[in-house]
Structure 1
Amino acid sequence: MSKRHSQKYKIDRRMGENIWGRPKSPVNKREYGPGQHGQRRRGKLSDFGVQLRAKQKLKGYYGNIAEKQFRKIYDEAVRLKGDTSERLIGLLESRLDTLVYRAKFVPTVFAARQFVNHGHVMVNGRKVNIPSYRCKVGDVIEVRQRSKDMIMVLEAVGLPERDVPDYIDTDHTKMTATYNRIPGLGDVPYPVQMEPNLVIEYYSR
């Protein structure tokens, strides 16, 4: 099993939830944590524990973003006008790797990061290989011509387990996607409940 897959499944097991809605998630069979003590009864979490768990789940969902980078996104959300938790989700959804995943060009967020890193993606006609690149409304994301026939890409397009959200217009014949608007929490098709308000509480302690 690759590091990417083992990390993905470990996050699911640690959270006790199938956070990406994947049919092969081990949580579908075993709803307890990994390791020899995973089956012990879970004690009631403190307020801090609940907030930490919400932060770990949200951070893990987006490919287990590094803590320093995730904190920067939070800091930027605080500076923006409006509801901080909604702005946090909007910033996370504006990442290039997230949009590549949402457009169903790849099967997982981890694959999206690698796909962008390896130079398979263009934004407005220019190659971008930075997964955290912040896309703007109106940007057109496209799979490079030489990458459009990759087996991973063709399989991802046909995945029945998720749909492209309505804030992205996707043309799978051309392998392009247009970022139409910044979504709020209610617009994002999370398979499990995300609680960005608790993430805000965690960082604002």
Structure 2
Amino acid sequence: MAKATTGKARFKIQRALGLELPGLGKAGALERRPYGPGVHGNRRKKISDYAVRLKEKQKLVYHYGLREKQLVSYVKQAKKNQTKPWMETLLSTLESRLNNVIFRLNWAPSMAAASQMVAHGQVQVNGKKVDKSSFIVKKGDVITLSDKGYANQLYKSSVESPRMATVPACYNIEADKKKGTMIDLPLPSDIPFEFEQQLVIEYYWKVK
């Protein structure tokens, strides 16, 4: 898992990328400015094609709390799938990671908080404890928490004040917010931030 970042660092990351990444948690409202980060910015600086692609790829790294090596590994796995475009497979896989599922169910305020709950053994899949954030939740899997998980202040505050406005249609969550089921595989359209798939495809075109 990527190293946790401070509120100030999270704000700087989102400011540099030009948008809010839900997975980083709330880090202050982003002010729209006609220039980049810095004291005055640089209005004349031309951004290279590489930098544009890199910026788009970084959205995935920071939102999902990944290391670059992890993302490359997921890209390689996705490219082995011959049944559909590899980018679709990649995004579905990232959205199916257990920490992301906990976050998208609004049981944690950020991806880092969700990972913490998983690492502490507070998350169960089909009634069995799973403590790896990278665990891939499959269609039909039922997600619940342990007693400590439901007593966790992170869970309580997230249920009371959800980070995300809605839960994706690929999940069914009980009215008491204590059980969620993946009823279908996540789609690229479930990604909760603006994202240009083609730029990431171009960034990783040499990866095999």
Q: Deviations over 1:95-147 (max 9, x none)?
A: 00000000111111111111111111011111111101111111111111222
Q: 1:7 deviation in Å? A: 4.1
Alignment of 1:56-71 (within 5 A): 56-63=58-65, 65-71=66-72
Moved more, 8-17 or 96-105: 8-17
Aligned to 1:88: 90
Q: Deviations over 1:142-165 (max 9, x none)?
A: 111222022221111132552111
- Structure 1, gaps ≥5 residues long: none
Aligned to 1:74: 75
Q: 1:197 deviation in Å? A: 2.4
SS in 1 for 2:143: strand
Instruction: State yes or no: 1:169 paired with 2:176.
Output: no
Task: State the TM-score, normalized to the length of structure 1.
Answer: 0.86
- Structure 2, gaps ≥5 residues long: none
Kept in 2, the 8 Å contact 1:89–1:196? The answer is no
Aligned to 1:152: 154
Task: State the TM-score, normalized to the length of structure 2.
Answer: 0.85
Q: 1:6 deviation in Å? A: 4.1
Q: 1:58 deviation in Å? A: 1.8
Paired with 2:44 and 2:126, the residues of 1 have a C-alpha distance of 48
Among 105, 110, 129, the alignment partner of 2:131 is 129
CA 1:7–1:116: 2 relative to 1, 3 Å:
farther
Paired with 1:62 and 1:39, the residues of 2 have a C-alpha distance of 28
Paired with 2:32 and 2:178, the residues of 1 have a C-alpha distance of 37
Kept in 2, the 8 Å contact 1:165–1:189? The answer is no
Paired with 1:38 and 1:169, the residues of 2 have a C-alpha distance of 47
SS in 2 for 1:106: coil
Aligned to 1:199: 200
Among 182, 186, 203, the alignment partner of 2:185 is 182
Kept in 1, the 8 Å contact 2:25–2:109? The answer is no
Aligned to 2:118: 116
Paired with 1:43 and 1:199, the residues of 2 have a C-alpha distance of 22
SS in 2 for 1:142: strand
Number of aligned residue pairs: 200
Runs of 4+ residues deviating >6 angstroms: none
Q: Deviations over 1:39-98 (max 9, x none)?
A: 3336332221111111001221112x0111111111111111201111111010110000
CA RMSD of aligned residues (A): 2.4
